[in-house]
Amino acid sequence: MIRYQFNKATYLFLILVFTSIVTSSLIISGEIMGVYNLYNIIQSLGGKNSLIITGYSVSPYTSLINKNDLLNKLRNTSGIENITFLVISLGYVNGKDVAFIGNNNVSDAYCAYPSYYVKNELNLKINQTILVYPALSNFPIILKVCNFSNLYPWAISVNINTAYLIHGGGINYGLASLAIIDFKNSSYKLSAMKSLSLTPVQKSLINTALILVQNNQGEKMLFNEASQAYFNKLGIPKIAFLSLAIASALIISIASYTIGLIFNLIDKDRIEILNNYGISKMKIMFNSIAISLLLLLISFIISLFIFNKIKYLLSTNLLGLPLIPSINIYIMLSTLISIMVISTISIIINNGDYNE
């Protein structure tokens, strides 16, 4: 039996190189998907037994639902504890994009309740006067910071009538950006889904889905289709955007060809020893591939851990909404498979260099 003592430092170095490339690929793909999933942030407004109803729109700021239409749809639904209508508006404070959420819990029309995140971003203080410039107007609205609240961690909470003023765009008081329906338990939530004519397939997804209602046609769709609508209205189909994300992973994974070459160069001594013992080229090649794939798998697991730890450090602000890098199973698999395939091809091509 042939034994060969692996150089641990060498393989640790390879894991480090593999990890850096995979992590870079995940970060780039995650930033792209973060933009794509920007609309997801409003899911955080609801609780475990809540449904969030929003309009078929380009963004949370252009979402509109008719309050009376929604109430009529739910008139025979029991178990509803509360229905909260919110108006989400975009304004500019100190030259920065800020999201404003209007609700009936704020009674004073001149009070603003920034989250602690917004407080730190804008360096706000209690009793400070702020000028809010609506996105669709050049005339500022004067508000006072009455206190801080984390009711909406990424926004400033204001009176719903104030939010209407900031919103502009012809929105009237019979409309809202979205509605949060709180139920006593999940069984009542299922009853509400029937009232909204959701299909059995949609029911299975409802815990992580946001219902979209297009009032003028009475159409319903799940939140996982929201991004499709978002980019279709911008002229960017979903498949094109996903292709861009996957392409970024493929481009970076081209570097794995070089890694395959480096692997063979570093592993040259072991390959020559196996050659001298008369081990066939095929067995040596499969042995090298098996080791490299194992190292890649270890590196990929490490990269996922690193990505999950640093993604919030990489977050930024887009139109007043937090843009947090995110990846899905398809991006993860495409990244892993592409790097494994290209590095394997590289090892196969260059393995013969040491079979003399």
With a CB cutoff of 8 Å and minimum separation 6, the contacts of 4 are 270, 273, 274
- CA gap 20, 123 in Å, rounded: 36
For strands 178-183 and 211-214, give the pairing.
Answer: unpaired
- CA gap 30, 223 in Å, rounded: 20
Q: Which residue has the higher pLDDT, 261 or 119?
A: 119
Which pLDDT does position 220 carry in this prediction? 42
Which pLDDT does position 156 carry in this prediction? 93
Between 5-9, 86-90, 309-313, the lowest mean confidence (pLDDT) is in 5-9
Are 33 and 243 in contact by the 8 Å Cβ rule? The answer is no
Answer yes or no: is pLDDT of 218 > 50.
no
- CA gap 122, 335 in Å, rounded: 38
At 23, the amino acid letter reads T
- CA gap 271, 229 in Å, rounded: 54
For strands 156-159 and 111-114, give the pairing.
Answer: antiparallel
pLDDT band at 239 (very low <50, low <70, confident <90, very high): low
Between 8-17, 36-45, 209-218, 328-337, the lowest mean confidence (pLDDT) is in 209-218
**Torsions phi, psi for 256 (to 5 deg):** -70, -20
- CA gap 148, 83 in Å, rounded: 24
Beta bridge partners of 98: 91
Residue with tokens 């060969």: 4
- Show the tokens assigned to 350: 């260059």
pLDDT tens sequence across 272-298: 777 777 777 778 778 778 888 888 889
- Show the tokens assigned to 15: 């894991």
- Mean of pLDDT over the chain: 75
Between 16-25, 177-186, 322-331, the lowest mean confidence (pLDDT) is in 322-331
Which pLDDT does position 356 carry in this prediction? 47
At 186, the amino acid letter reads S
pLDDT band at 226 (very low <50, low <70, confident <90, very high): very low
Which pLDDT does position 216 carry in this prediction? 37
Q: Which residue has the higher pLDDT, 124 or 272?
A: 124
Task: Give the per-residue SS3 of 135-152.
Answer: CCCCCCEEEEECCCCCCC
Q: Which class for 335: exposed (0-12), middle (13-18), buried (19 or more C-beta within 10 A)? A: buried
With a CB cutoff of 8 Å and minimum separation 6, the contacts of 315 are 34, 322, 323, 324, 325
pLDDT tens sequence across 302-351: 999 999 889 888 877 766 777 778 877 777 787 788 778 888 888 787 76
Average pLDDT over residues 48-55: 78
Q: Which span out of 58-62, 80-84, 123-127, 331-335 was modeled with the highest average pLDDT?
A: 123-127
Answer yes or no: is pLDDT of 43 > 60.
yes
Q: Which residue has the higher pLDDT, 104 or 207?
A: 104
Percent of the chain with pLDDT over 90: 12
Q: Which residue has the higher pLDDT, 114 or 22?
A: 114
Answer yes or no: is pLDDT of 300 > 60.
yes
